[in-house]
Structure 1
Amino acid sequence: MSDIPIFEAELVLECGNNLGEGVLWDAHAQVVRWIDIDEPAVHSYDPSTGAYSVDAYAESAHLSNIALVKSNPEELVATIQHDIVILPASKPTRQPSDVKPVVQKSLRTIAQPLSKPFSTQKEVRFNDGGCDPRGRLFAGSMNIGEAKDNRSGELLRIDPDGTRTQILEPGTVGTSNGIGWSPDGKLMYYIDSGEPEVSVFDYDLETGTPSNRRTFAGKPPAMDELGTRGVFDGLCVDGVGNVWVARWRERRIIGYTPEGKIFAYVKCPGALLTTIPCFGGENLDTMYIATARASRVGEKVEDYPASGHLFKMDFGPKSAIRKILGDNWKGADKHAFGI
């Protein structure tokens, strides 16, 4: 069906997430961290030992994104329902078969920036986000009902000094989702899952201001029998400027060149709802992929038994995908919040 090369990711951890998202590599702790939005919880996994932990946060109905904190490797910044908070960065110590969720509390609240009256009416919640190369936090929101005709989401920027700036206002955003920056910081990639495209902006790294929004990539061709029934979800950017985008309901990550040309698919066998990739490992040459449970979209769990689990794919020097990426390819960390 497709002449674009397809590479298969492998199952790493049967974590059974309802809505796995926000995956990142914590280089200080040498662990993969991600969140289950609806539980809500932070999951941490040490690939060298197999140790695993789940920190549950009952104080909020949702926990939608995490990022590292530049000044303190023992902390994470997170978006919960309507607030931006600091969480402890726990070190996993137990094997998966022994893990039970540990109830935690946020350490402190640093911002309550969602626009009124939407947040007071509980019509919206934070969703995906990320930090730019200077440590500014971009946090997007979405309509909780995910109604296509209700564009009450927005995109906010929270600077390390606490300054808050509205980048995209309510009425212009449906489901704010993946965000990332080119290696030189001159471009910002952005996904509103209510739109059939990935957007790109010119980005002023000195001021943190995006401008000149345009289409980076439109609706992709089908990879297999699942077709193109999905939407764009989360993304990450590697160290040479390729953009890797998850397609919800299509069990794949799409690799785009910096010019927006598709050159590879990464397939997650047994999954359906791929949500977001990141690069991790000691050499940043492993892709980790979070997924969500297939029953969220009315599909039978037995038809997609790996949905909700964590996947990985090798991008090392001897891997199959490096034959098309070349010897000069490199992965990239996600940026930390600059406090």
Structure 2
Amino acid sequence: MAPRVEKVCEPVLLGEGPHWDCKRQALYYVSIQDHTIHKYVPATNEHCKTKLEGRVGFIVPVEGSADQFVVGLERRFLVIQWDGKDGSKTKVVKELAEVEHGRNTRINDAKCDPRGRLYGGTMGHEEPLGNIEPNKGSLYRLVGTTVTKLADRISCSNGLAWDLKEKAFYYVDSFEHNVRRYDYDVETGDISNMKHIFDLKANNIEGAPDGMTIDTDGNLWLAVFNGSCVLHINPKTGKLLQKIALPAKQITSVIFGGKDLDVLYVTSAKLTITEEQKPPCGACFAVTGLGVKGLPNAGFKL
């Protein structure tokens, strides 16, 4: 069965950070430059969004709450309240932490590990679009309100995924054109022994690695910005298993969702960096027929 690609949400400027909520059977994602958070319910085709005061790098539901989410707003990790309705106002419930005080960076992506700890990173100042100041960001772990720096000299923090069986944490700094693997301790949340496991340039892949997820076989799915594709990678062998073409150039992130976690949702962007990105660039896509399933996404434990 060949993969089928379908547009499910209208274009935004910079779609990112997709999170599938199994309880709500809904997809959450952000549009960073539009300052918006989004909710899409496939069963009803309902799409709601609302605006925040600043660039928002991710959205993750708070575990056990019906209407609270942790978001990355500029350099702050916040808990906000949102009823999920279109255009409705949000309320800041709590500021968890601010990182890199006074620096011209921003939070770019984050996810929770299987224990509900938040891992997220920052990126350097970007001016003009596509021109990011290198080595100015870091990767952090947030437990409650306690922030721990896990890596520094990060240029553009992006994809994250965990494999409990392999005791592995996978991570992307887009500027490296590679995927990192760390040893991962699920009890402490610590990471160590970094090595690179998939080199895009060595595999003749144009574009930069961006968002990432993992399937139940332990294989990675990697969005390629400026590459019009998602890569299916075996991280243990470093072998490229499959390349899924998408009708947008700037592919930003991926997550498995749907009732059976067998639909790959893909976000994209329509940033005018060197040329105009015409529709459906910036849309969110659903890819079916892949023959694999993802893992449930953890919410944030306050």
Which one-letter code corresponds to 1:25 in the other structure? W
- Give the equivalent residue in structure 2 for 1:313: 287
Deviation of residue 129 (structure 1)? 1.3
Does 2:272 match 1:296? yes
Which one-letter code corresponds to 1:37 in the other structure? I
Q: Map Cα deviations across residues 259-310 of structure 1 (whole Å, 9 max, x no partner).
A: 23111122212x11110010111111111001000x43222334xx210111
- Give the equivalent residue in structure 2 for 1:97: none
SS in 2 for 1:78: strand
Larger Rg: 1
- Give the equivalent residue in structure 1 for 2:241: 263
Contact 2:79 2:96 in 1 (8 A): no
The 1-side partners of 2:265 and 2:251 are apart by: 11
Contact 2:28 2:40 in 1 (8 A): yes
- Give the equivalent residue in structure 2 for 1:201: 182
The 1-side partners of 2:241 and 2:74 are apart by: 37
Normalising by structure 2, we get a TM-score of 0.92
The 2-side partners of 1:201 and 1:137 are apart by: 16
Structure 1's unaligned 5+ residue stretches are 93-100, 323-328
The 2-side partners of 1:332 and 1:158 are apart by: 21
Deviation of residue 182 (structure 1)? 1.0
SS in 2 for 1:194: helix
The 1-side partners of 2:187 and 2:20 are apart by: 26
Q: Map Cα deviations across residues 153-192 of structure 1 (whole Å, 9 max, x no partner).
A: 01111113x22211113xx111111111014371110000
Structure 2's unaligned 5+ residue stretches are none
SS in 2 for 1:112: strand
Contact 1:8 1:266 in 2 (8 A): no
Normalising by structure 1, we get a TM-score of 0.82
- Give the equivalent residue in structure 1 for 2:89: 104
- Give the equivalent residue in structure 2 for 1:182: 163
Does 2:164 match 1:164? no
Does 2:139 match 1:155? yes
- Give the equivalent residue in structure 1 for 2:112: 131
Could you say if the C-alpha distance between residues 105 and 91 of structure 1 is closer, same or farther in structure 2, counting changes exceeding 3 Å?
closer
Contact 2:263 2:293 in 1 (8 A): no
The 2-side partners of 1:149 and 1:217 are apart by: 24
The 1-side partners of 2:167 and 2:286 are apart by: 29
Contact 2:197 2:235 in 1 (8 A): no
Which one-letter code corresponds to 2:77 in the other structure? I
Deviation of residue 8 (structure 1)? 4.7
Contact 1:134 1:205 in 2 (8 A): yes
- Give the equivalent residue in structure 1 for 2:8: 12
The 2-side partners of 1:232 and 1:108 are apart by: 34
Contact 1:148 1:194 in 2 (8 A): no
Deviation of residue 331 (structure 1)? 1.7
SS in 2 for 1:338: coil
Deviation of residue 51 (structure 1)? 1.1
In structure 2, which of residues 30, 37, 52 is the aligned counterpart of residue 35 of structure 1? 30
Contact 2:38 2:48 in 1 (8 A): yes
SS in 2 for 1:297: coil
The 1-side partners of 2:56 and 2:91 are apart by: 11
Cα RMSD (Å): 2.1
- Give the equivalent residue in structure 2 for 1:325: none
Which one-letter code corresponds to 1:35 in the other structure? V
Q: Map Cα deviations across residues 233-256 of structure 1 (whole Å, 9 max, x no partner).
A: 000111221111000011111011
The 2-side partners of 1:234 and 1:178 are apart by: 4
Percent of aligned positions that are identical: 28
Which one-letter code corresponds to 1:312 in the other structure? A
Q: Map Cα deviations across residues 214-248 of structure 1 (whole Å, 9 max, x no partner).
A: 011101577xxxx7441000001112211110000
Contact 1:7 1:264 in 2 (8 A): no
Does 2:74 match 1:45? no
- Give the equivalent residue in structure 2 for 1:56: 51
Could you say if the C-alpha distance between residues 74 and 149 of structure 1 is closer, same or farther in structure 2, counting changes exceeding 3 Å?
closer
Could you say if the C-alpha distance between residues 297 and 115 of structure 1 is closer, same or farther in structure 2, counting changes exceeding 3 Å?
same
Deviation of residue 311 (structure 1)? 0.2
The 1-side partners of 2:18 and 2:243 are apart by: 19
- Give the equivalent residue in structure 1 for 2:300: 337
Which protein is richer in strand relative to its size? 2
